[in-house]
Structure 1
Amino acid sequence: MALAVVTATPAAATPGLVPAANREIVFTADGTTVYGTLHVPEHRAGQRLRAALLLPGSGPTDRDGNQPPGSAPDTLAQLADGLDRDGIATLRFDKYGTGRTGLGAYRDHPEELDYPAFVRQARAAYESLRDQPEINPHVLLIVGHSEGAMTGLLLGGTVRPRPAGLALLQPQAIRMLDLVALQLKAQVAEATRQGQFTPEQQRTVNAAIDAAVTSLREHRPVDTTDLPAAIAQLFEAFQGPNARFVLSDDAVYPPDTAAALRPGTKVLLTCGTNDA
């Protein structure tokens, strides 16, 4: 069940049209109250609109696509603005650990928060969007960035009604720890090119990265002896309270999930080169 309150409307409306507006949306997932923003573009009274669920990337990324205070690219807020120009309504929300939602039901035991919990939260958001009075439930889209694209791929094959299309923006396209290893090795290669490591040191660090991934998957402590401090800190952060999330995310191989999509589902796939 979703509750909605109008929070912002333009001062003047065009005759015969309902002005664009933002609404604060509240829905429940696994006993947690989740807060989000529904943006409804200008439209004719009674018109049912296409709509997109916007899903954020990894880490504590809020409904606008930011990780305050250090990172504020407004990724999802900009997507909402762009889709507004095409007359597409959008719902974006504060996922677990961010914004007004916070940790919710996991506040006292964050170590139990795993990736499937985020997928269930996104499913509840999709159902909330589907049920809004201005929305055409048969023309729903899912737009996911990074980890959110993988979540969107998982939802796309299971939600009802099935989405008319998916936008997978810089998707997490391989297993999480394989992706981490790939990115870290690229950084080490660049550091070697700049003379910060010798080729022999590069090989040692790369082997330590592979060993760390294996240790995590086998539920063993990671040996950080041969890892640079920044990489060692990353693998240390993947253990302890975060271990359940990391391993449950790593268990998903995104190409396998694509098989559950309805034949004919339209998919936009972007693949850039600037993701650190």
Structure 2
Amino acid sequence: MTLTVLTAAPAAEAAPALVPAADREIVFTVDGTTTYGTLHVPAHRPGQRLRAALLLSGSGPTDRDGNQPTYTPNTLSLVSDALDRDRVATLRFDKYGSGRTGLGAYRDQPEELDYPAFVRQAAAAYALLRDQPETDPRGLLVVGHSEGAMTGLLLGGTVHPRPAGLALLQPQAIRLLDLVALQLKDQIAEATRLGHLTPEQQRTIDAAIDAAVIALRAQRPVDTTDLPPAVAQLFQAFQGPNAKFVNSDDAIYPPNTAAALRPGTKVLLTCGTNDPQVPCATTDALTTALRHAHTGGPGRIPLPGVNHLLHDANHPDTLTPAVRDALRRFTSAVAHRG
């Protein structure tokens, strides 16, 4: 009789449990200002290093979530949620003038706050993100919205290590005052179309807007005689406590910054067809400059029906599917970078 001895196969080792997704409050100091932010780390394996994106908000007192006191679109928190699905960690922070950070060191002299201070603040946040234990330094990304996209462009050519990818969402892609003039003239044209202004009044106001931009750039007083009251107030504010910021922001022509990017950097640029603040045509020169800089795709992606806050008529409170798809294409391109 043959005796058969049965032995149990060794049990397969159980896979280690995932570290659950979590948010961490982040605090860092730059130029004497304590800055507050949120680091979001997706669920991951213990010890795993993740791609990580610095999120940069748009203009004005826009906080880490993409909100202002007067409206709460949650733009950056929604972007963070979308990137979480692709296992990308994110760091977003309250920039100067917003959220818990406030004006910081500029509290008693807000007129001294200029655009380079915001760039230095963003660079400090990038370095902090780079040094997090969950971050893969070879997979650092910068995702900026509106003015934050221009800041992201500047970081892309100066920080170390260079980011593997830049996502420029509805970016400020021309000089600030040129963009303001374009927006104002569009509003005046619409008022004329509705019969609130005559064509002659439109021409007079357009000429006054051009003259105001020239005066600001020459640091001369703006003649507001032919400007509607709301437009006059805007240009007066540009000459007041905001003058240093406006002048230093307007000095940047975003297409000129593209040449400093590392060749092969993966770049996403979006523009919404329902975005009067950043019309797609304003991104033409930047798109060309990125191509000349030999950056990689996915490149420019027009978003049909999407507004400046990354919503459309069917998704007024969430990122439109077109935006989520564009972000997915971006993270996929970074994952397969050469």
- After superposing on structure 2, the runs of 4+ consecutive aligned residues of structure 1 that deviate more than 4 Å are none
| Aligned twin of 2:115 | 115
Q: Which deviates more, 220-229 or 195-204?
A: 220-229
| Aligned twin of 1:36 | 37
- The aligned amino acid for 2:113 is L
Quote the offset at 1:229 in angstroms: 1.2
Cα distance in 1 for residues equivalent to 2:106 and 2:138: 33
- The aligned amino acid for 2:265 is T
Q: Where do residues 218-233 of structure 1 align in structure 2 (5 Å cutoff)?
A: 218-233=218-233
Q: Deviations over 1:15-48 (max 9, x none)?
A: 6100000000011111111000000000000000
- The aligned amino acid for 2:35 is V
| Aligned twin of 1:82 | 82
- Does 2:162 match 1:162? yes
Say which SS state the counterpart of residue 143 (structure 2) adopts.
strand
Say which SS state the counterpart of residue 143 (structure 1) adopts.
strand
Q: Which deviates more, 233-242 or 70-79?
A: 233-242
| Aligned twin of 1:137 | 137
Say which SS state the counterpart of residue 19 (structure 1) adopts.
coil
Q: Deviations over 1:122-176 (max 9, x none)?
A: 0000000001111111100000000000000000011000000000001000000
Say which SS state the counterpart of residue 17 (structure 1) adopts.
coil
Cα distance in 1 for residues equivalent to 2:147 and 2:276: 12
- Does 2:266 match 1:271? no
Quote the offset at 1:274 in angstroms: 2.0
Cα distance in 1 for residues equivalent to 2:236 and 2:79: 34
| Aligned twin of 1:97 | 97
**Length-normalised TM-score, structure 1:** 0.93
| Aligned twin of 1:22 | 23
Cα distance in 1 for residues equivalent to 2:165 and 2:271: 17
Cα distance in 2 for residues equivalent to 1:235 and 1:86: 43
| Aligned twin of 2:212 | 212
Unpaired runs of at least 5, structure 2: 1-14, 278-338
Task: Tell me if the contact between 2:16 and 2:45 (Cα under 8 Å) persists in the aligned partners.
Answer: no
Cα distance in 1 for residues equivalent to 2:199 and 2:189: 9
- Does 2:177 match 1:177? yes
| Aligned twin of 2:282 | none
Cα distance in 2 for residues equivalent to 1:64 and 1:225: 39
- The aligned amino acid for 1:59 is G
Task: Tell me if the contact between 2:103 and 2:110 (Cα under 8 Å) persists in the aligned partners.
Answer: yes
Cα distance in 1 for residues equivalent to 2:275 and 2:136: 36
Quote the offset at 1:230 in angstroms: 1.2
Say which SS state the counterpart of residue 242 (structure 2) adopts.
helix
- How many residue pairs match? The answer is 262
| Aligned twin of 2:313 | none
Cα distance in 2 for residues equivalent to 1:108 and 1:234: 23
Say which SS state the counterpart of residue 235 (structure 1) adopts.
helix
Greater relative CO (CA pairs within 8 A, separation 6+) = 1
Q: Which has the larger radius of gyration?
A: 2
| Aligned twin of 1:56 | 57
Cα distance in 2 for residues equivalent to 1:120 and 1:223: 34
Quote the offset at 1:275 in angstroms: 3.7
| Aligned twin of 2:198 | 198
Cα distance in 2 for residues equivalent to 1:137 and 1:29: 21
| Aligned twin of 1:11 | none
Say which SS state the counterpart of residue 275 (structure 2) adopts.
coil
**Length-normalised TM-score, structure 2:** 0.76
Cα distance in 2 for residues equivalent to 1:163 and 1:98: 26
Cα distance in 2 for residues equivalent to 1:274 and 1:254: 19
Task: Tell me if the contact between 2:16 and 2:46 (Cα under 8 Å) persists in the aligned partners.
Answer: no
- The aligned amino acid for 2:123 is R
Say which SS state the counterpart of residue 89 (structure 1) adopts.
strand
Cα distance in 2 for residues equivalent to 1:196 and 1:17: 61
Cα distance in 2 for residues equivalent to 1:78 and 1:229: 36
| Aligned twin of 1:125 | 125
Q: Deviations over 1:85-119 (max 9, x none)?
A: 11000000000011111111111111110000000
| Aligned twin of 1:255 | 255
Cα distance in 2 for residues equivalent to 1:104 and 1:207: 39
Say which SS state the counterpart of residue 271 (structure 1) adopts.
strand
